[in-house]
């Protein structure tokens, strides 16, 4: 497990998402106070849905929606209305239920050619963060999940994007799914001020044991180590059930 990682364990899934929502709000409030805006990259898949619903629900009054800018850590190579779309998931769980100015949401146009979509999103990041040619964007928060094979975002074991050291966003062929994905790269993930992994449920216990107790596994999610930022893994009791370390 990456040394600087902090593991926060709560008993239930409900407590996990409440804790994650509180952290989100805390980071958002601080960023808006310090810089006037909060830039977050959302994770996809199923785990974060409940967090997004909480943010748009009971936590809605505490989120500075007009100063929060939503990006995505990755996207499937599908149209935005496809059931597989991460944007669709976030829209159904949060955007459609919260006062988010449409201009604050930066969707990956993954319905296009994947390479072009990646280039376009990289350009969007460069413009939004006003980056010099060799500069990296620094997200205030990047939300991540972990897949059963240890992937995170769309950085899958054995995929070409694992070796990307310059680009911010790439199209990444995922052999196991026989499809392209569009994903932020490790340089961007590891330049974040705060990275929060969320893991919930017993089906994550096996991969969390690999991630935390088998450094030699060299899994993509183990390579997320913000150089000048905080790394926090938030998990419920079921997800850490197989860990050696006391948690």
Q: Which of 39, 153, 169, 207 binds ligand 6PG (CB under 6 A)?
A: 153
Residues 82-111 binding ligand 6PG (CB under 6 A) are 86
Binding test (CB under 6 A) with ligand 6PG, winner from 16, 21, 28, 44: 44
- Which is closer to ligand 6PG, CB of 67 or CB of 171? 171
Which residue from 81, 114, 136 is spatially nearest to 182, judged by alpha carbons? 114
Residue 102 CB neighbour total at 10 angstroms: 6
Tokens 């296009």 belong to 112
Q: Could you say whether residue 159 binds ligand 6PG (CB under 6 A)?
A: no
Residue 202 interacts with ligand 6PG (CB under 6 A): yes or no: no
Q: Give which of 101, 102, 100, 120 is closest to 110, Cα–Cα.
A: 120
Task: Please name the residue ranges forming H helices in 67-217.
Answer: 86-93, 114-128, 186-189, 205-213
CB of 48 to ligand 6PG, least distance (A): 7
Count of residues touching ligand 6PG (by CB under 6 A): 15
Structure tokens at 229: 């930022």
Quote the CA–CA distance of 228 and 121 in Å, as a whole number. Answer: 24
Starting at the earlier edge strand, list the strands of the sheet with 74-76.
Answer: 74-76, 179-184, 169-174
- 12 makes contact with ligand 6PG (CB under 6 A): no
Residues 56-85 that bind ligand 6PG (CB under 6 A): 73-74
When asked if residue 157 is in the footprint of ligand 6PG (CB under 6 A), the reply is: no
From candidates 27, 88, 147, 226, binder to ligand 6PG by CB under 6 A? 147
How far is Cα 242 from Cα 70, in angstroms, rounded to an integer?
A: 34
Q: Choose the stretch contacting ligand 6PG; rule: CB under 6 A; options: 23-31, 152-160, 211-219, 235-243.
A: 152-160
Q: Pick one of 28, 43, 171, 212: the residue that binds ligand 6PG (CB under 6 A).
A: 43
Q: What is the dihedral of CA 170, 174, 177, 181, to 10 degrees?
A: 0
Q: Does 210 bind ligand 6PG (CB under 6 A)?
A: no
**Contacting positions for ligand 6PG (CB under 6 A):** 43-47, 73-74, 86, 145-147, 151-154
């Amino acid at each position: 497990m990456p040394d600087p990682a902090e593991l926060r364990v709560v008993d239930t899934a409900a407590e996990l998402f409440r804790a994650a929502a509180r952290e989100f709000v805390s980071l958002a409030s601080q960023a808006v106070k310090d810089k006037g805006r909060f830039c977050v990259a959302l994770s996809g898949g199923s785990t974060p849905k409940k967090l997004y619903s909480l943010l748009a629900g009971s936590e809605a009054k505490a989120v500075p929606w007009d100063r929060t800018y939503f990006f995505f850590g990755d996207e499937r190579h599908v149209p935005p209305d496809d059931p597989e779309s991460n944007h669709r998931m976030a829209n159904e769980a949060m955007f459609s239920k919260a006062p988010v100015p449409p201009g604050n949401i930066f969707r990956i146009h993954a319905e296009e050619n994947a390479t072009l979509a990646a280039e376009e999103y990289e350009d969007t990041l460069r413009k939004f963060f006003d980056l010099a040619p060799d500069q990296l964007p620094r997200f205030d928060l990047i939300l991540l999940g972990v897949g059963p094979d240890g992937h995170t975002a769309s950085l899958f074991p054995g995929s070409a994007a694992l070796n990307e050291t310059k680009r911010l966003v790439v199209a990444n062929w995922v052999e196991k799914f026989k499809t392209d994905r569009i994903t932020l790269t490790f340089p961007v993930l590891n330049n974040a001020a705060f990275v929060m992994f969320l893991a919930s449920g017993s089906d994550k216990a096996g991969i969390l044991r690999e991630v935390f107790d088998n450094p030699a596994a060299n899994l993509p999610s183990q390579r997320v180590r913000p150089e000048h930022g905080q790394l926090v893994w938030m998990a419920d009791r079921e997800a850490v059930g197989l860990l050696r370390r006391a948690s």
